[in-house]
Amino acid sequence: MRKNKKINKPEKFYVKALSKKNGILFLVVLLIFILLTGRLGYIQFVKGAEYKRAAYMNQTINKIISPKRGIIYDSTGKVLATSADVDTITINPGSITYKDGKDVEPEKLANAFVDIFGLDYQTVLDKINSSSSVETIVRKVEQDKVSLLETWLDENNVTSGVNIDDDVKRYYPHGTLASQLIGFCGDDNTGLEGLENEWDDVLTGTPGKIITSSNVIREEIPDENQTYIAPENGNNLVLSIDVRIQSILEKYLEQAVIENECTRGGNAIAMNPNTGDILGMATYPYYDLNTPFKPATEDLKEIWDTLSSSEQTEQMQSLWRNRAVTDGYEPGSTFKLITSSIALEENLVEPDTEKDFICTGSETVYDYEIECWRSYNPHGEQSLRDALENSCNPAFIQLANRIGPKLFFKYFDAYGLLDRTGVALPGETSGYFFEGGEEGIGAVELATMSFGQRFLISPLQMLTAVCAIANDGVLMQPRIVKQIINADNGSVTNIEPKEVRQVISKETAETMQDLMKSVTQDGTGRNAKVAGYSIGGKTGTSEPSPGREEDGYTSSYVAIAPTSNAQIALLVILYDAQGENGHQGGTIVGPVVAQILSELLPYLGIASTEEAEEENTDAIVLPDLTNKTVAEAKRILEGQNLDAEITIEGNENESVVVNQVPKPGVSLEEGGIVYLYTAENTVSVSTTVPDLKGMSLSQAKNALKAQNLNINYTGSGVVISQDEVAGSQIESGSIINVILQEEGVDTY
């Protein structure tokens, strides 16, 4: 028995050891169980909500639906800015796979993007190989490009990692038209300049979204629980400007800047004095709203590649600025209208008192000798009417001494020259006169202020003040937006014209209107005459301030038409004219005003009320020759002493006229040229416009006839302006409108 005990002793020890190990194992398992239970409890109760959200986000797709930005219309309903549906292409690097789950070769995909979208290969390849979760390949692409990409992805069995998201793109149908006024948007459809910037909150709208389920490769799964939140589109704007008026302003402003070699460009603004509506606002040089970071004018295109990156940026930022609103300028002698109105309102002067002022060629103010522009031939004794017609600085210095600083500043405030006008455009400047206000005005400042120099106001402030004179003394706030239209329900919010205050009496305003008419009829402003219409105006020529000689002269003209019950006010400014015609406002800007008004007044439906002194007396109204045989059309023209020009293939008795230049209804002189086109010959013939400046009427007629062009003229003497730029190409048979003026007439 003792022996058996010896045998069983190790077994007992083994059982005890095993039991001890099992206990430890149990404790370990129990500990692990407790830890796992604690972890699960932590995950479920502490982090449960967070992980639930993460799982939900991983299993759902949240797609943003961009709203359409509001449309901008002109006053006649023409679209100036609109948005179209496009797409933006993004990728998820590292997750771009084929249908079988294999990764797509980066080089292959990069080449596809380059071929379809014309992108830089290395830039695209770097994005595909990046460690980012998402990379944008190209923004705002049209459907034809997207279709090509979708076809490529389908043909190459690419199922994930390339995203095509809905987006919208801003379009400007008229390109450069009103570019500084309208402005443009960035890639995110946020307004950056002009009206797009100022009215961004109104135009933008609110994004919508779609929330739906997705699988492991982020494909949408049809789900009855899909959530759709519709976007709220931006509101539409209806402006006060008219595309036709804006086009006329830009056409003649560009021509004037180029012909007069104006190194700093120019401005033109047209307003309705009765409502404050801005009918057109032009700045030259312009830029293309669809490509706002590239030059649009030929002179800038020529030097663009020679500029550094910073110089290019500086040039474009300068082009974007609406200088009619953001920049101050010295108005020069156009401001004599304001000075005159103050003196008349305060009974300090009468319009026709003889010998009220004396011009000896200059005026001495302390130690300064301020010359009259005609110091070589002084104006002598003058009434206020004479002084305005002659644009005589000494007379207005004498008038300013009667007014004094206190009254001047009272009316500066009344005319709105000390504050912003309140026009709904960004970056508007206010007038800057002198440090310390009226207390800072000494004798010299008072003198120069009387004729519009050594202080700054914006072009819009100047024209708004003149509109008050044209509107029987009532100042209106400039209006650029007339209506806000809800794009989703069509409701309309009208922005009514806003009367600011009565600045001068109706009687004073009527006197000023008559004085302005005298300036255009008999004074330095006569180059702005328009046959058959009563035009009131004032010229302006301001020299650069000391220390800023590089700015050059500022040449301007302000006009109202008709003189009584004016329906339009116009201001045209040219900066630093270097051309051979000099820099006098009456000489180089007056004809531009005449050209603009000669088109605007008939367009606005303003009837001619005065007999034209000089116009074509033998004018022939051109009939409609379309749908007639060539033979019949030629007989009609011969019967009216007009010449027909046509090149046809076929029988004149069978070929039918489908087009004619000029168009029916225009007036031609005897011997005028008419080009006829048939279905067999529709290619128009072009010719070069000759330079008619300085020619007599007979010389101009001969020069145009030699180029197969027709003439329409007003005035007498020599040609001072033409409506088509010399050297430009135009259809043969077209009419060139010219204005003539007697030589030796003062037009300062």
Instruction: Print the SS3 string covering 318-370.
Output: HHHCCHHHHCCECCHHHHHHHHHHHHHHCCCCCCCCCCCEEECCEEEECCEEE
Structure tokens at 222: 């049809």
Q: What is the dihedral of CA 331, 337, 343, 346, to 10 degrees?
A: -110
Q: How confident is the model at residue 447 (pLDDT cuts 50, 70, 90)?
A: very high
Q: Decide which of 714 and 57 is more confident.
A: 714
3-state secondary structure (DSSP) of residue 451: coil
Q: Residues with Cβ < 8 Å from 288, sequence gap 6 or more?
A: 172, 175, 176, 179, 294, 296
Q: Residues with Cβ < 8 Å from 552, sequence gap 6 or more?
A: 263, 264, 544, 575, 576, 577, 578, 583
Nearest to 554 by CA among 524, 528, 587, 576: 576
pLDDT higher than 80, residue 94: no
Cα(465)–Cα(431) distance, integer angstroms: 12
Cα(619)–Cα(665) distance, integer angstroms: 11
Question: What is the structure's pLDDT at 139?
Answer: 83
Cis peptide before 93 (omega within 30 of 0): no
Cα(576)–Cα(496) distance, integer angstroms: 38
Cα(688)–Cα(704) distance, integer angstroms: 9
Question: What is the structure's pLDDT at 3?
Answer: 47
* 3-state SS record for 100-169: CCCECCHHHHHHHHHHHHCCCHHHHHHHHCCCCCCEEEEEEECHHHHHHHHHHHHHCCEEECEEEEEEEE
3-state secondary structure (DSSP) of residue 546: coil
Cα radius of gyration (the chain) = 38
Range scoring the smallest mean pLDDT among 44-53, 335-344, 567-576, 622-631:
44-53
**Biggest alpha carbon–alpha carbon distance for the chain:** 161
Q: Which helix (H) or strand (E) holds 466?
A: helix 459-470
Question: In the Cβ-directed half-sphere of 671, how many Cα atoms lie within 13 Å?
Answer: 9
Question: What is the structure's pLDDT at 238?
Answer: 97
pLDDT higher than 90, residue 96: no
Cα(479)–Cα(278) distance, integer angstroms: 6
Q: Report how far apart, in Å, the C-alpha atoms of 183 and of each of 67, 253, 293, 659 are.
A: 20, 19, 12, 38
Q: DSSP alpha helices (H): ranges in 199-282?
A: 200-204, 243-259
Question: What is the structure's pLDDT at 435?
Answer: 74
Cα(553)–Cα(333) distance, integer angstroms: 12
- Mean of all residue pLDDT scores within the chain: 87
Phi, psi of 324 (to 5 degrees): -65, -20
The secondary structure of 474-503 as a DSSP string is: EEE--B-EEEEE-TTT--EEE----EEEE-
Buried b or exposed e, range 30-63, using 16+ CB within 10 angstroms: eeeeeeeeeeeeeeeeeeeeeeeeeeeeeebbee
Question: What is the structure's pLDDT at 685?
Answer: 85
Helices and strands (DSSP H and E) totals, the chain: 22, 34
Question: What is the structure's pLDDT at 32?
Answer: 80
Question: What is the structure's pLDDT at 510?
Answer: 97
Q: Decide which of 73 and 745 is more confident.
A: 73
Q: Decide which of 39 and 401 is more confident.
A: 401
Q: Report how far apart, in Å, the C-alpha atoms of 365 and of each of 304, 392, 451 are.
A: 48, 16, 14
* 3-state SS record for 563-588: CCCCCEEEEEEEECECCCCCCCHHHH
Q: Please, which residues bridge with residue 97 across strands?
A: 103, 160
Task: Judge contact between 469 and 536, C-beta under 8 A.
Answer: no
Q: Which helix (H) or strand (E) holds 382?
A: strand 380-382
Nearest to 625 by CA among 672, 657, 647: 657
pLDDT higher than 80, residue 743: no
Structure tokens at 282: 């032009």
3-state secondary structure (DSSP) of residue 473: coil
For residue range 665-693, list pLDDT tens digits in order: 888 888 889 999 988 887 888 899 999 98
Question: What is the structure's pLDDT at 28?
Answer: 75
Q: Residues with Cβ < 8 Å from 3, sequence gap 6 or more?
A: none
Task: Judge contact between 66 and 233, C-beta under 8 A.
Answer: no
Cα(740)–Cα(742) distance, integer angstroms: 7
Average pLDDT over residues 536-557: 93
Task: Judge contact between 320 and 183, C-beta under 8 A.
Answer: yes
Q: How confident is the model at residue 507 (pLDDT cuts 50, 70, 90)?
A: very high
Phi, psi of 663 (to 5 degrees): -75, 160
Average pLDDT over residues 482-509: 95
Q: Residues with Cβ < 8 Å from 247, sequence gap 6 or more?
A: 177
Cα(599)–Cα(622) distance, integer angstroms: 19
Structure tokens at 397: 């210095």
Question: What is the structure's pLDDT at 704?
Answer: 92
Count of all residues that appear for the chain in the document: 748
Interhelix angle 143-155/106-117, nearest 10 degrees: 150
Question: What is the structure's pLDDT at 38?
Answer: 72
CA 610 to chain centroid: 35
pLDDT higher than 50, residue 2: no
Cα(420)–Cα(430) distance, integer angstroms: 5
Range scoring the smallest mean pLDDT among 40-54, 249-263, 382-396:
40-54
Q: Residues with Cβ < 8 Å from 386, sequence gap 6 or more?
A: 357, 379, 392, 395
Nearest to 342 by CA among 312, 384, 375, 374: 384
Q: Decide which of 613 and 560 is more confident.
A: 560
* 3-state SS record for 618-665: CCEECCCCCCCEHHHHHHHHHHCCCEEECCCCCCCCCCEEEEEECCCC
Q: How confident is the model at residue 503 (pLDDT cuts 50, 70, 90)?
A: very high
Task: Judge contact between 328 and 432, C-beta under 8 A.
Answer: yes
For residue range 206-234, list pLDDT tens digits in order: 877 666 655 544 455 555 556 767 778 89
Question: What is the structure's pLDDT at 390?
Answer: 96
3-state secondary structure (DSSP) of residue 717: coil
pLDDT higher than 60, residue 443: yes
pTM check: above 0.95: no
Task: Judge contact between 456 and 328, C-beta under 8 A.
Answer: yes
Q: Please, which residues bridge with residue 555 across strands?
A: 541, 574
Cα(116)–Cα(265) distance, integer angstroms: 41
The secondary structure of 670-685 as a DSSP string is: TT-EEEEEETTB-PPP
Task: Judge contact between 275 and 497, C-beta under 8 A.
Answer: yes
Task: Judge contact between 722 and 692, C-beta under 8 A.
Answer: yes
